[in-house]
Chains A and B, each alone.
Chain A
Amino acid sequence: MCQNILTLTEDQILALAPDAASQKAGKDLGQMDKWVSYGADFTAIWGECQGSGSKPYQTQIDSQNIAFKCSCPSRKFPCKHGLGLLLLYAKNNAVFSGKEAPGWVKEWIDKRGEKSEKIAENVAKPVDEAAQAKRQQARIKKVNEGIEELLLWIKDVIRNGLLQIPGKESSFRALSKRMVDAQAPGLAGIINTFEEINFYKEGWQSLLLDKLITLYLLITGYKNQESLSHEMKLEIAGLIGFAQSQEELKAKDGIRDDWFVMGKQISEDAQLTIERNWLYGINTRKYALILQFYVKNQVKGLTLTTGSIIDAELVFYNPGLATRALLKQQHEWKPPVIVKGLNNWKESIAQQAADYENNPFTSEIPFIVEQLKPVIYNERWWLKDRDDNMMVMKLHGDALWQFLAASGGQATTLALVGKDNEFTPIGMWLNNRYFVI
């Protein structure tokens, strides 16, 4: 089980809301007097909320598998009634107990149970290994053809020069589609990031070359995988798009620790929301990245509250080389403690260099560094450590002012994420309290 909805805090429940308006409306409905009836048992939480119609809205939550259902006409998911009911439960769960689920709740839960059983049956079906191997061979053939085409394209670009690229950005999309057809979605994803480059802004040249080099390294690594370690093979396969089965991963032993949730970065890619949760193991001193993908109107399976500490078991996708992990088992919330970070930038860049050496595909790296102070030099913001060494601070807009307002320009321990020589603060400790930036 990932996480029990029955133990969610108010902040975590609000984090499930699709937008700020829903958060506000949900809070308003988190009052006892808004509900005509309510109850909960081991499987579900339910309630009836009087709306503008003659019949109250019937709201129900599958507490075992985090799912919401409501008879209101809202297209938002979860709707304000679902959020309100869950907030009410979080505040007053005692008054929910001892009630029998009405028919409409039982019916929904039973149907969900039937569906789960069908899925389980499908999973339990014996695997046709021969067919599976055939499919795998066919895919490898497609990927091989795809990467040969990609290598040809890269070599053409290098022969003719990067200066020919601006104005021909449409070729990226065609190439990306070709990689999707070649069943190499990871390569397609990297090519898609070419479109993020602003070809009218100085510095595009280096960004583009770095991405081309990354693709070339992946292609070369893939073609020479016999000579690589198991971990590096796994890393390259993952980056090309050979996904690891989550079920298989979960079957492996993980690392149990008190994991401090350093921060969350959210980005949008077409219809998909990508949530990057950065964690730090207090005892193991390991960093972990838990990715979560969801589309609009889909309930997140996992809610990690920034600044909280969870006793949990994480399984790493590639333990030797990368930080990406998944949450196998969450045990309990732990009280906040002061997290010990690195002493200075020297320690962090030494670690960073080791990571790059170990894995050239390493992208963003998280760190906790103590006593960093924001300063201005050459009209840029830097973070200066206690030895007067400085690193560029990549922080803009509201987040920058929030950070400066809270820190008051004083040295403080920061949680950061970044790469090369630019880092973004994502959280900080002030007076023994953790603030999200």
Chain B
Amino acid sequence: MHYFDNILTTALLGTEKRQLTSGELTPDLAELYEVIKENADLDNEEKFLQIASLGYNYRRCGFGLLKKEGIAEVVPHEEVNQYCSDDAIKVLEDILEEESDELLKLWLDLCLGKRLIVHPVLIPVLLSRAAKGKSCRNLIVQSCGKRGEWLINLNKDWHFLIKPEISEQDWGNGTAEQRRKILRETREKEPVNALEMLKTTWQVENANSRAELLKQLETGISDADIEWLESLLTEKSQKVKDEALRLLKMVSGSHILQQYWNIIKEAVQLKREKGFLGIGNKIIVHIQAPVINDEAIYKSGIDKLSKDKNTSDDDYILMQLIREVHPENWEEYFNSTPHEIIGYFEKDEKTKKFLDGIAAATLKFKEQNWALQFAKQSSVFYADLIPLLPVREQEQSIIAHLTATHQMLTWALSLKHEWSLQFAKQVIKLADEGIAQWLNGQYNFSTNHIYNNKSFYKLGIHLIPVELLTELKSRPQEGDPIVLKKWEENTGYLVKLLTIKQKIYKVFA
């Protein structure tokens, strides 16, 4: 045993129970201990403390080094991509200071677009951020390059940031999550192969796994899947049957949607009503109660009874059927354009309400043409269809139809494209009356309530065009200093974020 362990053992047990002997020490210390022990003025405890004190410094002065050759180096792979510029790093530091996820995403997108990576010094900060929140996680990992991967592998708290590489070879033995990913990715590239892949293992999957894997077929679903999906309607598991049916309702050619459409056709007809002496002939939509002979229809998710006292059971059933079928069916059936069809339904209050069903089907099948017609023509505004509209029509629809401020701001923030300057001004007008007044040349801040819109600007900075900066920066040169100060407070944060955004574009130009 090491001599200091003997000293420590004695200290732990106490000198009353254990006495340290010279034989437990090194020869140098043992010799000194013999001298100490001879000192009759000292009690046992102090004799021990004296030799322990000598042993303590003897130990400290004698620390040796561990010599090890051939220990594997811990170094990252060489980077493939170049580091971004120092200026870009400065902008990144500004973004991190402002804690703006949207600006960070923009910075990372542009950095990766230029095949550049982040300087190593900022990697831990970024990886910690990626570990705390999903936002920008993948972009951060990619932008940290090989050194980032290396650090992730060294820090077990970051391991989850890199998902192990998987390929089709792992289809048979991957984890449930990996297999779903493989099927989804194969489905995106080769839908038919993905289906065949699923078929090969179908018999050995349990019910839960079958239902979960089936969900992945939603991507790239087509008529080619119908036959197999319909064969699953006789499966034992209700979960699997429900999922198969849900998918079949997404394919126009499926038997179930054909059945729905046949019932609709029987119930809804386009009729030409004759006017006096042929003058004023008009086309109307004639609706009668749907006839359902097959009870299986009700088992496919169509309810028999209306939940609304103002809607008859027949109308309710018909509405549910219309929501499921593709809107293109109407074009062929009525031999009319979406514009004309919406017009026919709108003529009468009794038929107008069924446009809600066609609008829902438009959303379900992501029919852009129908969405545009609804936005242009319908007397009812279907906000859910906004994402299906072309970029500028989305902005126009929001301005034209949404009157409640919170609703408009929420939709404005949901847009996927950068706002036009005109739209940005409109949004900010609502978001901040103070700024709007400045933009309109009226800035009496002393009488207006000043909104704190920092969080709104933070959420929407990726949508606000940099061009707005010029107008916001043209500070009024004259006026009451208090008014000017309030103007700055109001615009200051937005100006700061827009300035950073402008710099992002500049450093990656």
Contact = CB atoms under 8 A, between A and B. Distances in A.
Interface of A: 24, 28, 33-34, 36, 50, 52, 54, 56, 154-155, 158-164, 205-206, 209-210, 212-213, 216-217, 220, 345-346, 349, 352-353, 356-357, 360, 373-377, 382, 384, 387-391, 398, 401-402, 404-406, 408-410, 419-421, 435
A213 B56 contact: yes
B250 interface: no
Which 5 residue pairs spanning A and B have beta carbons closest together? A161-B14, A409-B75, A401-B124, A50-B485, A155-B45
B124 A405 contact: yes
Given A160-B16, A409-B75, A404 B154 contact: yes
A390 B66 contact: yes
Interface of B: 7-8, 11-17, 43-46, 48-50, 52-53, 56-57, 60-69, 71-76, 97, 120-121, 123-124, 127-128, 147, 150-151, 154-155, 475, 481-482, 485, 488-489, 492, 496
A404 B151 contact: yes
A352 B60 CA distance: 9
A36 B481 contact: yes
A138 to B, nearest CB: 28
Nearest to B49: A216
A386 to B, nearest CB: 12
Contacts of B75: 408-410
B48 A158 contact: yes
Nearest to B493: A28
Given A159-B15, A360-B60, A390-B68, 6 more contacts: A50-B482, A213-B52, A360-B53, A391-B65, A402-B124, A408-B147
A398 B120 contact: no
B119 to A, nearest CB: 9
Contacts of A391: 65-66
Given A24-B97, A356-B61, A154 B120 contact: no
A376 B48 CA distance: 39
Contact of A408 (B13, B67, B120, B488): B120
B46 A206 contact: no
A375 B73 contact: yes
Given A33-B488, A155-B49, A405 B147 contact: yes
A202 to B, nearest CB: 12
A388 B11 contact: no
Contact of A352 (B15, B63, B124, B485): B63
A357 B45 CA distance: 24
A347 to B, nearest CB: 11
Contacts, number: 150
A369 to B, nearest CB: 12
B73 A373 contact: yes
Given A24-B97, A163-B12, A408-B147, A435 B124 contact: no
Given A356-B60, A401-B155, A375 B71 contact: yes
Contact of A406 (B52, B61, B73, B121): B121
A353 B151 contact: no
Contacts of A34: 488
A47 to B, nearest CB: 14
Contacts of B67: 387-390
B393 to A, nearest CB: 39
B62 A408 contact: no
Contacts of A352: 63
Contacts of B65: 345-346, 349, 389-391
Nearest to B124: A401
Contacts of B69: 388
A29 to B, nearest CB: 11
9 contacts: A50-B485, A155-B49, A160-B14, A161-B16, A353-B61, A353-B63, A356-B57, A375-B74, A402-B124
Contacts of A421: 63
Nearest to B71: A375
A345 B63 CA distance: 11
Contacts of A410: 75
Contacts of B489: 52
A50 B72 CA distance: 61
Contacts of B154: 404
B60 A420 contact: yes
A269 B46 CA distance: 32
Contacts of A373: 73
Contacts of A346: 65
Contacts of B44: 159
Given A163-B12, A390-B68, A54 B120 contact: no
A373 B75 CA distance: 10
B53 A50 contact: no
A429 to B, nearest CB: 14
Contact of B68 (A154, A155, A161, A377): A377
B217 to A, nearest CB: 42
A389 B49 contact: no
Contacts of A349: 63-65
Contacts of B56: 209-210, 213, 360
Q: Which of A164, A374, A387, A409: most chain B CB closer than 10 A?
A: A409
B11 A161 contact: yes
Nearest to B56: A213
Given A155-B49, A390-B68, A409 B12 contact: no
Contacts of B43: 155
B5 to A, nearest CB: 9
Nearest to B120: A405
A158 B66 contact: no
A390 B127 CA distance: 29
A155 B123 CA distance: 53
Nearest to A346: B65
A420 B63 contact: yes
Contact of B74 (A162, A163, A376): A376
A209 B60 CA distance: 14
A357 B54 CA distance: 11
B127 to A, nearest CB: 8
Contacts of A56: 481
Contacts of B124: 398, 401-402, 405
B392 to A, nearest CB: 36
Contacts of B50: 220
B49 A382 contact: no
Nearest to B485: A50
B75 to A, nearest CB: 4
A155 B76 CA distance: 54
Contacts of A216: 49, 52-53
A219 B65 CA distance: 32
Nearest to A373: B73
B437 to A, nearest CB: 19
A184 B153 CA distance: 50
Contacts of B68: 377, 384, 388, 390
Given A50-B485, A54-B482, A213-B52, A409 B45 contact: no
B97 A154 contact: no
Nearest to A165: B12
B386 to A, nearest CB: 37
Contact of B57 (A360, A388, A406): A360
B63 A384 contact: no
A162 B12 contact: yes
B61 A206 contact: no
A390 B71 CA distance: 11
Given A357-B61, A375-B71, A384-B71, A158 B15 contact: yes
Given A158-B14, A205-B8, A375-B71, A389 B76 contact: no
A353 B57 CA distance: 9
Contacts of B45: 154-155, 158-159
Contacts of A160: 14, 16
B491 to A, nearest CB: 12
Contacts of B475: 33
B8 A206 contact: yes
A358 to B, nearest CB: 10
A62 to B, nearest CB: 27
Contacts of B147: 405, 408
Contacts of A217: 53
